[in-house]
Amino acid sequence: MQVNLADAMTLLNNGEVVAIPTETVYGLAADASNEAALLKIYATKQRPANNPLIVHIANIHQVSGYADEFSALAKKLAIAFWPGPFTLVLKAKPHVSNILRANAPTVALRVPAHPLTLQLLKESGLALAAPSANRYTQLSPTTAAHVENSLGKDIPVLDGGPCQVGIESTIVSVDGDQWQLLRHGMITEAQIEAIAGKPAQPLTQDIPKAPGQHLLHYSPRTPTRLFEAFADLQKYAQLHPHCAALLIGQSNTALHAQVHSAHCIALPSTPAQVAEHLYDALHRLDDLQASAILILLPPDQPAWAAIRDRLTRAGYQDAP
């Protein structure tokens, strides 16, 4: 159900959830200070209570309302990448709801870059908790239609058009002058390292695993298989009828014609272009009710890390 900005604001002020556009994916938003509203997010998504939510804020000045420590390093990263597809995990102020942060000592914060949602944040004065607006483990939504397909027609959606970045934000935790990369995104590790002036600390076992760290995540309903080489994908398609295919990072669209399948999407060859269209392509292939979705992965290179991360999770259920 589409709503306008004024309706969205009223609903949020009344403790309801509203799907909102961001530059990454659509989020299912609620007033971050209203615990009953936060519980509605978990219930609507069927998301386990141990998976914390990102708080969306209008600007860098609101960080101090949530974070106990805003170190020089964290500030430098926020200035460099906000508004944008970048989330900072910082030590939380004690008052920050435990429902929001799932009892973690930290809180995740992001200033999104979508003009409509920035206007909503500014005019309402609310901070908005928002995970991606899809059911737990399913494909993330990058259009209002994706949201309605996943969560139903009754969900109020503020339609801001298709998301321009297309995959979820990069998540970085900062503790003093150290940083760790919790989730790959289109702001790359190299970009962050350049601003931080030092490499990420490695993730250790005892770090609470966060972002989509469940291996089965971002998944189509159709069984999904991943391939590093086109020849292997082609062989599989020849042996198994009714496959759909997604070819990534291939400039040669002649490959397209060779796939033994009527259903094939070839995405363009740069990481940014692929990210923008990735979830929509997966939604469309999933709707075909093919026997399998075969995905030709982009090269195992840093520029493709976020896209390989999402695809590896999409394909995990069917990994050998």
**Of 7-15, 97-105, 125-133, 199-207: span binding Mg ion (CB under 5 A):** 125-133
Mention every residue, 6+ apart, whose C-beta is less than 8 A from residue 113. 22, 23, 83, 84, 85
Considering CB distances under 5 to 8 angstroms, the limit depending on partner class, which of ligand TXA, Mg ion, none binds residue 217?
A: none
Count CB neighbours of 274 within 10 A. Answer: 22
Name the minimum Å distance from CB 316 to ligand TXA. Answer: 15
Considering CB distances under 5 to 8 angstroms, the limit depending on partner class, which of Mg ion, ligand TXA, none binds residue 25?
A: ligand TXA
Measured CA distances, 177 to 174, 196, 233, 270 (Å): 7, 9, 45, 33
Closer CB to ligand TXA, 62 or 269, in the complex: 62
Based on C-alpha coordinates, what's the Rg of the chain? 20
DSSP character string of 92-161: BPTTS-HHHHTT-SEEEEE----HHHHHHHHHH---EE--BSS-TTBPPPSSHHHHHHHH-TTS-B----
Beta strand 243-247 with 263-266 is: parallel
Closer CB to ligand TXA, 106 or 261, in the complex: 106
Q: Which residues bind ligand TXA (CB under 6 A)?
A: 22, 24-25, 27, 51-54, 85, 87, 89, 101, 104, 106-108, 110, 112, 130-132, 168-169, 171, 182, 208, 210-212
Considering CB distances under 5 to 8 angstroms, the limit depending on partner class, which of ligand TXA, Mg ion, none binds residue 210?
A: ligand TXA
Distance CA 178, CA 301 (A): 24
Measured CA distances, 179 to 84, 94, 152 (Å): 18, 22, 38
Name the minimum Å distance from CB 147 to Mg ion. Answer: 12
Q: Residue 253 gets which letter from DSSP?
A: T
Closer CB to ligand TXA, 130 or 233, in the complex: 130
Name the minimum Å distance from CB 129 to ligand TXA. Answer: 9
Number of shown-chain residues binding Mg ion (CB under 5 A):
1
Does 132 engage in binding with Mg ion (CB under 5 A)? yes
Residue number closest to Mg ion, CB atom: 132
Name the minimum Å distance from CB 299 to Mg ion. Answer: 25
Residues of this chain that interact with Mg ion (CB under 5 A) are: 132
